[in-house]
């Protein structure tokens, strides 16, 4: 009889415990407890950077060409070769050009003889003043023609306009070229005037002004960061892609640059705006500009609230809307939370552990 009473009492206790567990789960009061950390929501004056990429160019690049057309007789340099100011780089075949100079010289000489003869006839009243004036004009025209021919003869060669390097040889010996056809692409290395040409959208273009600072990273130097500033803004969109070209002057900081190196720029517009900021690890369930964060509430509970992200800066998030009345958000442990979770603060738990260890 006594054994039966003991068994009945044990069964009753188990049943009561089961009923109590079911009830607590039904009303949501018994949930898992998560240890979390919180950080205060800060307000900072920040600017939304503009990110873009492009190729490095020199501010002193030059496309070298002949002033007149003809056949290229000789190119004295190769790609990558260093040159000095005034160095002869290329020449045209002078056969036709020299003949033109001789022809112009003969025409000028004849015009002078004709003018001298008509002046003598005019003194003897065998010619009119109009005859003298016409031949004077003809002599002047012939003289100017000779000067043009000699000028063209002088510019039938290409010389380096400054110290630099030959970036590209566009034409080869024996080719027939027209006046102004690029023959050599030269880069002036006497000055470190390097620029990065990038394209940006119209909204970004409107926020950028000349003189804004920039941070530039070059693929050739993965561990280096270079400074720069906006040197020029295009006043119209590129018809080929609709982007607005921005030129960023890059300071090489004693590093060796070359035309065509790929680089990325983070342009920092001068206009600042105040944003609420939180660590990146506080975000949960983000999509696009929308995201959620957990904030602690009374009785060790949490609340999941939506926010609108303005932009991200490395490990920090600038929030456009949603944190107006929020003092702190949960960071560590946020990924394990649900809206019915109970929390305990990591700092408090550490303090209790320290007291227990001391005792």
Reported pTM:
0.51
Q: Mean pLDDT, to the nearest integer, of 326-338?
A: 87
Residues in CB range of 68: below 8 A, 6 or more apart: 92, 97, 152, 155, 156, 179
SS3 content of the chain, % helix, strand, coil (to 5): 30, 40, 30
Q: What is the pLDDT of residue 10?
A: 35
**What are 257-309's pLDDT values in tens digits?**
877 889 999 998 887 778 888 888 888 887 888 899 999 888 888 888 899 88
Taken in order of first residue, the domains within the chain and their CATH numbers are 33-46+274-358 (2.40.420.20), 51-60+188-268 (2.40.30.170), 67-172 (1.10.287.470)
Q: Is the pLDDT confidence value at 118 over 80?
A: yes
**Tens-place pLDDT, residues 74-94:** 999 888 888 888 889 998 888
pLDDT at 27 over 70: no
| Paired tokens of 68 | 């007149």
pLDDT in tens, 225-268: 999 999 888 888 888 888 899 999 898 888 888 778 899 999 98
Confidence of residue 354 (pLDDT cuts 50, 70, 90): very low
Report the interhelical angle of 129-154 vs 95-123 (nearest 10°): 160
Closest C-alpha to 323, from 305, 310, 339, 337: 305
Q: Between residues 9 and 242, which one has the greater pLDDT?
A: 242
pLDDT in tens, 52-62: 999 888 767 77
């Amino acid at each position: 009889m006594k054994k039966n009473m003991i068994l009945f009492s044990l069964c009753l206790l188990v049943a009561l415990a089961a009923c109590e567990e079911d009830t607590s789960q039904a009303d949501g009061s018994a949930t898992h407890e998560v240890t979390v950390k919180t950080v205060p929501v800060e307000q900072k004056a920040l600017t939304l950077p503009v990110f873009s990429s492009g190729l490095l160019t020199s501010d002193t690049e030059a496309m070298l060409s002949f002033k007149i057309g003809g056949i290229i007789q000789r190119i004295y340099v190769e790609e990558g070769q260093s040159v000095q100011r005034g160095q002869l780089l290329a020449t045209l075949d002078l056969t036709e050009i020299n003949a033109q100079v001789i022809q112009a010289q003969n025409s000028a000489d004849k015009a002078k003889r004709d003018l001298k003869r008509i002046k003598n006839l005019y003194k003897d009243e065998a010619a009119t003043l109009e005859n003298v004036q016409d031949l004077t004009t003809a002599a002047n025209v012939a003289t100017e023609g000779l000067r043009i021919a000699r000028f063209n003869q002088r510019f039938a060669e290409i010389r380096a306009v400054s110290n630099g390097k030959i970036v590209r040889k566009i034409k080869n010996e024996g080719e027939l070229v027209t006046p102004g056809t690029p023959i050599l692409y030269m880069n002036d290395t006497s000055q470190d005037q390097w620029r990065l040409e990038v394209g940006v959208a119209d909204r970004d273009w409107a926020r950028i002004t000349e003189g804004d600072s920039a941070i530039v990273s070059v693929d050739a130097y993965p561990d280096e960061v270079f400074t720069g500033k906006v040197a020029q803004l295009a006043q119209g969109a590129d018809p080929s892609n609709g982007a607005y070209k921005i030129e960023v002057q890059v300071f090489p900081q004693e590093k060796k640059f070359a035309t065509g190196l790929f680089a990325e720029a983070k342009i920092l517009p001068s206009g600042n705006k105040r944003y609420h900021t939180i660590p990146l690890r506080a975000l949960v369930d983000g999509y696009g500009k929308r995201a959620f964060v957990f904030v602690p509430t009374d009785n060790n509970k949490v609340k999941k609230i939506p926010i609108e992200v303005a932009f991200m800066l490395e490990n920090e998030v600038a929030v456009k809307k949603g944190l107006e009345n929020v003092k702190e958000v949960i960071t560590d442990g946020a990924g394990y939370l649900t809206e019915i979770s109970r929390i305990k603060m990591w700092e408090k738990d550490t303090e209790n552990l320290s007291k227990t260890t001391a005792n």
